[in-house]
């Protein structure tokens, strides 16, 4: 892709804020925050920091933002750091507060769009370190479509005895079963999270960081660095410097976030065994830049893409261990050499994906984290898109094959996550049950909560091979087992999941991509006649506004549609 250098493009937006006598008041205010005479002649780069002390995932990002700022300033532009919000799934999981999790993705995108559009930033560098703020950042950058780079905050180091946050959730189930004494649960609680960084497995944060690198929107290897490390600081400085080239050549997200680039991201996350949330987020990120990505794309790409990374939650290793052998660059090189990536996609380096990967070395001999293609964990995608009479518009499952490829059981229906979790802990859920959790979708929840608490309780109770769980909510990247989420249409919209009754037989088949309730059409029709849409749970505030504007999970659960 050829791009012409155009110095005027580099100040396309900021010159409207600071040039001319009429803008003297603007300059006066900017002088108070550190601008000098020469700064008004430079490109302005907004640095969107997701720093806060609400979660270890983001507690260090203020220092990373400062490093990015140094890189921007050294390259001859002017850095302007500002903050957007973040929430913590890991802290709010299983509570009413978790309803704000997916909502926060929209708030983050809106806030980045609002600040950088208002302030006339010529370019933007966003730094994220937790599940929703990464896609939120990318959606904001895509909407603005100004030269942009994403920087990942980095992964956390392992806790004592190779533990992480999922170890704590599963220990709760183990304690309820009687296998783990309270003293051991307390010890795991105190030692599993040793410091700053995103949750350590191939959960949603590391999945999305890897996807964004494959998309071309972060520098090579940005996704595979420990949060607290010299390499992460260097990544930040380099990102700050790299924005200048994008500004000078007017390379924008729309030049990078193409359909082919999204196909690269989907391919990579499948090989890594990544989170089901990637389906929701990649569809939403594509929508923000005007590219159509659908559930069918995951089906099509999934048929030819194997799972070859032995990473948690279903595997053995943590992201920090993948970093030790070289991160994801060597995996991407393998995929490129196998003809599974589009090498001609532009990236934020100003080079194509193939050019970035040209001199990448393979993994060291003897490593068993990334397996050869002919020894794949699963020959095709673990992200299985299901349809059928329970999910006419689709549902998303994460089935590695270790759980089996089909499941038939009797429904146990719960109207909320809390009801289901209590039933699992109390022993109400037994082998051969299909736990149905409904009215937790984007509109019905509202907010589409993640179900790490019930899925971890199932695993901790030793029922992981014997119980399935379906929901119109979502799953954490840390969830494992025979679990199906994103069921659409959701229960609140009258989807078939609203019609399931206790004792109904449900069959889930990952090979035929079907999920069906084994009752007649006549019975379902009679139940539909008696179904009534529940009253909205929230009448005012953010959740009420979200419920009125959010789209179906099958289209990314986005809220910025004018129609």
Domain C-terminal end among 357, 392, 427: 357
Cα angle vertex 277, ends 274, 279, to 5°?
Answer: 85
Domain annotation covers residue 138? yes
Average the pLDDT over 406-433 and give the result: 97
- Name the active-site residue from 397, 416, 476, 479: 476
Average the pLDDT over 224-246 and give the result: 98
- Cα distance between residue 468 and residue 252, in whole Å: 44
Q: Is the pLDDT of residue 9 over 90?
A: no
403 in a labelled binding site: no
Residues 441 and 319 in one domain: no
Higher pLDDT, 4 or 197: 197
Residues 418 and 502 in one domain: yes
Work out the mean pLDDT of the chain and round it to a whole number: 96
Q: Residue 376 has what pLDDT? A: 97
Domain annotation covers residue 273? yes
Residues 401 and 472 in one domain: yes
Residues 335 and 393 in one domain: no
Q: Is the pLDDT of residue 7 over 80?
A: no
Residues 98 and 237 in one domain: yes
Which residue intervals of 120-203 are DSSP H helices? 133-144, 165-177, 182-191
Output phi, psi for 465, to 5 deg. Answer: -90, -5
Residues 393 and 319 in one domain: no
The pLDDT confidence band at residue 84, using thresholds 50, 70 and 90, is very high
Residues 95 and 206 in one domain: yes
Q: Is the pLDDT of residue 425 over 90?
A: yes
pTM value surpassing 0.85? yes
The pLDDT confidence band at residue 563, using thresholds 50, 70 and 90, is low
Q: Residue 217 has what pLDDT? A: 99
Using one digit for the tens of pLDDT, what is the confidence trace for 483-498? 999 999 999 999 999 9
Q: Is the pLDDT of residue 1 over 60?
A: no
Tell me the CATH number at 456.
Answer: 3.50.30.80
Residues 140 and 201 in one domain: yes
> Would you call 275 a catalytic residue per the annotation?
no
Average the pLDDT over 438-460 and give the result: 96
Residues 396 and 332 in one domain: no
Using one digit for the tens of pLDDT, what is the confidence trace for 297-312? 999 999 999 999 999 9
Domain C-terminal end among 357, 372, 403: 357
Using one digit for the tens of pLDDT, what is the confidence trace for 464-486? 999 999 999 999 988 988 999 99
Q: How many CB atoms lie within 10 A of CB 505?
A: 13
- Host domain of residue 216: 42-157+195-357
Residues 334 and 445 in one domain: no
In the chain, the percentage of residues whose pLDDT exceeds 90 is 95
Using one digit for the tens of pLDDT, what is the confidence trace for 488-535? 999 999 999 999 999 999 999 999 999 999 999 999 999 999 999 999
130 in a labelled binding site: no
- Cα distance between residue 396 and residue 266, in whole Å: 14
Cα torsion angle, 427, 431, 432, 437, sign: positive
Domain annotation covers residue 170? no
Chain CA centroid to CA 379, Å: 24
Cβ burial, residue 530 (10 Å; 0-12/13-18/19+): exposed
Which residues of 404-520 form beta strands (DSSP E)?
A: 406-414, 433-437, 468-471, 482-488, 505-509, 514-517
Domain annotation covers residue 24? no
Residues 404 and 322 in one domain: no
545 in a labelled binding site: no
Domain C-terminal end among 357, 391, 409: 357
Domain annotation covers residue 300? yes
Please give the structure tokens belonging to residue 431: 């082998």
Higher pLDDT, 5 or 445: 445
Using one digit for the tens of pLDDT, what is the confidence trace for 104-130? 999 999 999 999 999 999 999 999 998
Domain annotation covers residue 58? yes
- Cα distance between residue 194 and residue 532, in whole Å: 48
- Cα distance between residue 395 and residue 491, in whole Å: 13
Q: Does the bond joining 313 to the residue before it have cis omega, within 30 degrees of 0?
A: yes
Number of structural domains found in the chain: 2
Q: Residue 562 has what pLDDT? A: 55
244 in a labelled binding site: no
Average the pLDDT over 336-345 and give the result: 98
450 in a labelled binding site: yes
Tell me the CATH number at 320.
Answer: 3.40.50.2300
Q: Is the pLDDT of residue 134 over 60?
A: yes
Domain annotation covers residue 272? yes
Cα of first residue to Cα of last residue in the chain, in angstroms, is 34
- Cα distance between residue 185 and residue 191, in whole Å: 10
Residues 307 and 417 in one domain: no
Domain annotation covers residue 37? no
């Amino acid at each position: 892709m050829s791009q012409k250098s155009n110095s005027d493009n580099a100040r396309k937006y900021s010159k409207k804020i600071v040039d001319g006598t009429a803008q003297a008041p603007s300059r006066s205010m900017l002088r108070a925050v550190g601008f000098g005479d020469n700064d008004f002649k430079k490109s302005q780069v907004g640095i969107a920091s997701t720093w806060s002390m609400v979660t270890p995932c983001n507690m260090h990002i203020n220092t990373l933002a400062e490093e990015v700022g140094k890189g921007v300033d050294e390259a001859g532009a002017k850095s302007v750091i500002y903050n957007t919000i973040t929430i913590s799934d890991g802290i709010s999981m299983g509570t009413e507060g978790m309803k704000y999790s997916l909502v926060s993705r929209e708030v983050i995108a809106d806030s980045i769009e609002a600040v950088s559009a208002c302030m006339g930033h010529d370019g933007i560098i966003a730094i994220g370190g937790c599940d929703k703020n990464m896609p939120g950042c990318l959606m904001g950058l895509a909407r603005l479509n100004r030269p942009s780079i994403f920087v990942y905050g980095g992964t956390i180091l392992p806790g004592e005895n190779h533990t992480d946050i999922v170890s704590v959730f599963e220990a709760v189930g183990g304690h309820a079963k009687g296998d783990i004494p309270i003293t051991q649960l307390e010890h795991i609680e105190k030692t599993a999270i040793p410091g700053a960084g995103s949750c350590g497995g191939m959960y949603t944060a590391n999945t999305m960081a890897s996807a964004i690198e494959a998309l071309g929107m972060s520098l090579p290897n940005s996704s595979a660095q420990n949060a607290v490390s010299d390499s992460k600081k260097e990544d930040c400085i380099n990102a700050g410097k790299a924005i200048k080239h994008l500004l000078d050549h007017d390379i924008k997200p729309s030049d990078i976030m193409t359909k082919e680039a999204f196909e690269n991201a989907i391919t990579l996350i499948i090989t890594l065994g990544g989170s089901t949330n990637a389906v929701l987020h990649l569809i939403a990120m594509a929508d923000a830049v005007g590219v159509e990505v659908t559930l069918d794309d995951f089906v099509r790409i999934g048929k030819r893409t194997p799972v070859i990374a032995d990473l948690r939650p279903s595997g053995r290793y943590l992201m920090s261990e993948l970093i030790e052998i070289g991160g994801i660059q060597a995996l991407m090189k393998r995929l490129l050499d196998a003809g599974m990536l589009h090498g001609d996609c532009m990236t934020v380096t100003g080079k194509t994906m193939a050019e970035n990967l040209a001199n990448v070395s393979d993994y060291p001999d003897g490593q068993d984290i990334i397996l050869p293609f002919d020894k794949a964990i699963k020959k095709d995608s673990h992200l299985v898109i299901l349809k059928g009479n329970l999910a006419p518009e689709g549902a998303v499952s994460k089935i590695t094959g270790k759980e089996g490829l089909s499941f038939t059981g009797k429904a146990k229906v719960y109207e909320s996550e809390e009801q289901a979790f209590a039933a699992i802990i109390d022993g109400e859920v037994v082998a051969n049950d299909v736990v149905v959790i409904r009215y937790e979708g984007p509109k019905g929840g509202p907010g589409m909560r993640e179900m790490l608490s019930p899925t971890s309780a199932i695993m901790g109770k030793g029922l992981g091979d014997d119980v399935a769980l379906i929901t119109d909510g979502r799953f954490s990247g840390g969830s494992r087992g025979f679990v199906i989420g994103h069921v659409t249409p959701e229960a609140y919209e009258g989807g078939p999941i609203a019609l399931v009754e206790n004792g109904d037989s449900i069959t889930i088949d990952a090979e035929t991509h079907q999920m069906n309730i084994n009752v007649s059409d006549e019975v379902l029709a009679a139940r539909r006649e008696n179904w009534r849409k529940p009253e909205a749970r929230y009448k005012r505030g953010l959740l009420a506004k979200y419920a009125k504007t959010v789209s179906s999970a099958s289209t990314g659960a986005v809220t910025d549609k004018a129609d």
